[in-house]
Structure 1
Amino acid sequence: MAFRIFRIAVLLLILLAIAALAYARLFGLPDAFNKRLVDEIAKKGVSVRFGKIYFDPFQGFVATDTVLFNPNDPELKLVTVNEIGLKLNYLRLFHRQQALDELRIEDATLTVPLDLKQPQESMVTGNGVSASLRVVEGGIISVDSFSGIFNGVRVGLSGTVHAEGKLPERLPQQAAQLNLLARIFKEFEKIHFSEPPELFVQFHVDLPKPELSTARALLKAGELIRETLKIDSVQTRIVLEKQVAHLQQLDLALYGGEIHLTGDYEISTDTAALEIRSTTNLKQLAVALGPPFEPFFHDYEFTANPIVTARVEGQTRELNLLVMNGTMEARKFTLRGIPVQTFRSKFNLRDGIFKMPNFVAVRPEGTFLGTYTCRLKDENFTLDAVSNLHPAPCRNIFPNHTAEFLHRFQFESPPQITFLWSGNWHDTEASIIKGHVRSGRFTIDDVPMKALDADAELTGHELSVTNMVLTREEGEVTGHVAYDGLAQTLEGNIVSTANPYDLARTLGTNALAAIAPYQFIQPPKVILTGIIHFQDESRTRLFGHVEGKNLYYWRMHGDSVSTEISIRQGYVGLSNFVAGTYSGQLAGAGEFFVSPEGTRYKINGRIDKIDLQQFTESITRTKPKSRGVVSGWASINGVASDTRSLEGAGAVSIEKAVLWEHPVFGELLTTILNVMLPGRVATSTATDARGDFTIEKGVANFSTLNVDAGITSIGATGRYKIWSGGLDFEVEGKPWNDVEWTKIFTWITMPFTKLFTMHLGGSWEQPEWRTVYLPKELLSPFKASLPKERTDEVKPSVPESNVSDKPR
Structure 2
Amino acid sequence: MKNNLQKTNGRKARNRHILHVLRLAGFTSGLIILLALFHLLTIGIPAPLTRHITDQLQQKGILLHIDSITLSPRRGWVLHNLRLYSHSPDNLQPIIKTKKLYLNILPDRWTRLSETDWLISISGTNIRLSPEYQGRAILPNEHPLRIISQLQAHLSLSRKNLRIENAELLWGNTVFRTSGTMALPPPIQPLSNNTAESDQQPKPAIWTHAAEIIKTATAISFDSTPEINLQFEIPPEGFPRTSAQVSFFAFGLHWNDRAYEQIGGVLSLRNRKLSLDSLKIEGNDGASLSAFGRWDIPRRNALINLSNSLPAEDLIDLLPPAVADKLSQTGIRPFGKLEFDIIAGPAQPEKLLEQVNLHVHSMQITRDDLSLDQLRFDLTRNGQQLEVNNLAAIANGGPVSGNLDMDLGSGAWSASAEGRVSPTPIGKLLGGEAQEWIDRFDFTNHVPDISIELSQDKKGDHLYFTTAVSAQNFLCSGIPFDTMNTTMVYSNHTFSLSPLKATQDHRSIKGSVKLDFQKKLAYFNATSEFEPAVIAHIIAPSYPTVLTNFTFNGVVSCAGSGRIDFSGGTNHAAQGTIQAESVSAAGFTAKSFRSRVEARNSQLIFSSSSADLFGGQAEGTAVFDLQFNDHQAPYRLDIDATRLDLNQIARHVSTNDFSSTKGLVSATVNISADAAGGFWESATGYGEAEIEKGQLKDLPVLGGFSRLIRTTVPGFSLFSITTLYSKYKLQDGTFYTDNLELGGTLLSATAHGTYSPTEGLDFIVQAEPLRQIRTDKKWYMLHLWFADALKQGTAPLFRLLEFELKGPLNAPKWRLINLPKEVSQILQMPVKKSDTETDEPPVQTESP
Q: TM-score, normalised by structure 2?
A: 0.62
How big is each residue's C-alpha offset from its partner over 1:49-80, in whole Å with a ceiling of 9 and x where there is no partner? Answer: 9999997644568999999xxxxxxxxxxx99
Asked if the contact 1:223/1:233 (under 8 Å) is kept, the reply is: yes
- Structure 2 residue 686 is matched with structure 1 residue 649: yes
- Residues 230 and 735 (structure 1 numbering): CA distance in 2 closer, same or farther, change over 3 Å? closer
- Structure 2 residue 169 is matched with structure 1 residue 148: yes
Q: Distance in 2 between matches of 1:715 and 1:611?
A: 23
- Structure 2 residue 118 is matched with structure 1 residue 87: no
Structure 1 equivalent of residue 579 of structure 2: 548
Q: Distance in 2 between matches of 1:29 and 1:453?
A: 97
Q: Distance in 2 between matches of 1:177 and 1:271?
A: 27
Look up the equivalent residue of 2:728 and give its one-letter code: F
- Structure 2 residue 181 is matched with structure 1 residue 160: yes
Structure 1 equivalent of residue 26 of structure 2: 13
Structure 2 equivalent of residue 521 of structure 1: 554
Q: Distance in 1 between matches of 2:839 and 2:756?
A: 18
Structure 2 equivalent of residue 242 of structure 1: 271
Identity %: 9
- Structure 2 residue 228 is matched with structure 1 residue 199: yes
How big is each residue's C-alpha offset from its partner over 1:242-299, in whole Å with a ceiling of 9 and x where there is no partner? Answer: 1212222211246985311122133456653122111234355446423445444664
Aligned ranges 1:262-661 → 2 under 5 Å = 262-268=292-298, 272-283=302-313, 285-286=315-316, 288-292=319-323, 294-296=325-327, 299-301=331-333, 304-313=336-345, 318=350, 322-330=354-362, 334-336=366-368, 338-351=370-383, 356-363=388-395, 365-371=397-403, 384-391=416-423, 405=439, 408-420=442-454, 432=463, 434-444=465-475, 445=478, 447-457=480-490, 464-467=495-498, 469-472=500-503, 473-476=506-509, 478-480=511-513, 482=515, 492-494=522-524, 495=526, 497-500=528-531, 502-503=534-535, 511=544, 515-525=548-558, 527=560, 529-530=563-564, 545=575, 546-549=577-580, 550-553=582-585, 554-555=587-588, 557=590, 559-564=592-597, 574=605, 576=607, 578-581=609-612, 584=617, 586-590=619-623, 603-607=636-640, 610-614=641-645, 617-618=648-649, 621=652, 630=666, 632=668, 634-635=670-671, 648-651=685-688
- Residues 159 and 516 (structure 1 numbering): CA distance in 2 closer, same or farther, change over 3 Å? same
Q: Distance in 1 between matches of 2:148 and 2:384?
A: 40
How big is each residue's C-alpha offset from its partner over 1:450-473, in whole Å with a ceiling of 9 and x where there is no partner? Answer: 3141424399xx894443624223
Q: Distance in 1 between matches of 2:316 and 2:410?
A: 18
Look up the equivalent residue of 1:134 and give its one-letter code: S
Asked if the contact 2:150/2:171 (under 8 Å) is kept, the reply is: no
Provide the secondary structure at the position in 2 that maps to 1:551: strand
Q: Distance in 1 between matches of 2:33 and 2:174?
A: 42
Q: CA deviation at 1:329?
A: 3.2
Provide the secondary structure at the position in 2 that maps to 1:99: coil
- Residues 417 and 801 (structure 1 numbering): CA distance in 2 closer, same or farther, change over 3 Å? farther
- Residues 439 and 699 (structure 1 numbering): CA distance in 2 closer, same or farther, change over 3 Å? same
- Structure 2 residue 290 is matched with structure 1 residue 260: yes
Structure 2 equivalent of residue 670 of structure 1: none
Look up the equivalent residue of 1:650 and give its one-letter code: G
- Residues 577 and 290 (structure 1 numbering): CA distance in 2 closer, same or farther, change over 3 Å? farther
Q: Distance in 2 between matches of 1:744 and 1:90?
A: 165
Provide the secondary structure at the position in 2 that maps to 1:523: strand
Q: Distance in 2 between matches of 1:423 and 1:330?
A: 31
Q: Distance in 2 between matches of 1:201 and 1:277?
A: 26
- Residues 338 and 588 (structure 1 numbering): CA distance in 2 closer, same or farther, change over 3 Å? closer
- Structure 2 residue 132 is matched with structure 1 residue 100: no
Structure 2 equivalent of residue 41 of structure 1: none
Q: Distance in 1 between matches of 2:840 and 2:114?
A: 152
- Residues 264 and 795 (structure 1 numbering): CA distance in 2 closer, same or farther, change over 3 Å? farther
Aligned ranges 1:32-51 → 2 under 5 Å = none
Provide the secondary structure at the position in 2 that maps to 1:612: strand
How big is each residue's C-alpha offset from its partner over 1:490-545, in whole Å with a ceiling of 9 and x where there is no partner? Answer: 86344452322555676769858852444353324265854558xxxx98997754
Q: CA deviation at 1:22?
A: 5.6
Q: Distance in 1 between matches of 2:375 and 2:34?
A: 79
Stretch moving more, 208-217 or 522-531: 522-531
Asked if the contact 1:89/1:101 (under 8 Å) is kept, the reply is: yes
- Residues 630 and 353 (structure 1 numbering): CA distance in 2 closer, same or farther, change over 3 Å? same
Structure 2 equivalent of residue 118 of structure 1: none
Q: Distance in 1 between matches of 2:789 and 2:833?
A: 22
Select which of 134, 137, 140 maps to 2:156. 134
Q: Which segments of 5 or more consecutive residues in structure 1 lack a partner in the other structure?
A: 39-46, 68-78, 113-120, 667-682, 764-769, 778-782, 787-793
Q: Distance in 1 between matches of 2:238 and 2:498?
A: 73
Select which of 692, 697, 722 maps to 2:727. 692
Structure 1 equivalent of residue 790 of structure 2: 752
Look up the equivalent residue of 2:789 and give its one-letter code: P
Asked if the contact 1:732/1:753 (under 8 Å) is kept, the reply is: yes
Q: Distance in 2 between matches of 1:735 and 1:83?
A: 142
Q: Distance in 1 between matches of 2:660 and 2:791?
A: 29
Number of residues of Structure 1 aligned to a counterpart in Structure 2: 704
Provide the secondary structure at the position in 2 that maps to 1:191: helix
Look up the equivalent residue of 1:418 and give its one-letter code: I
Q: CA deviation at 1:434?
A: 2.8
- Residues 330 and 717 (structure 1 numbering): CA distance in 2 closer, same or farther, change over 3 Å? same
Which has the larger strand fraction?
A: 1
Q: Distance in 2 between matches of 1:600 and 1:86?
A: 107
- Residues 89 and 309 (structure 1 numbering): CA distance in 2 closer, same or farther, change over 3 Å? closer
Q: CA deviation at 1:205?
A: 0.9
Q: CA deviation at 1:21?
A: 7.3
Look up the equivalent residue of 1:275 and give its one-letter code: N
Asked if the contact 1:356/1:373 (under 8 Å) is kept, the reply is: yes
Structure 1 equivalent of residue 133 of structure 2: none
How big is each residue's C-alpha offset from its partner over 1:634-660, in whole Å with a ceiling of 9 and x where there is no partner? Answer: 4376999x9999985323578xx7568
Asked if the contact 1:602/1:636 (under 8 Å) is kept, the reply is: yes
Provide the secondary structure at the position in 2 that maps to 1:304: coil
Look up the equivalent residue of 1:440 and give its one-letter code: A
- Residues 57 and 28 (structure 1 numbering): CA distance in 2 closer, same or farther, change over 3 Å? farther
Q: CA RMSD in A?
A: 6.8
How big is each residue's C-alpha offset from its partner over 1:638-686, in whole Å with a ceiling of 9 and x where there is no partner? Answer: 999x9999985323578xx75689xxxx9xxxxxxxxxxxxxxxx9999
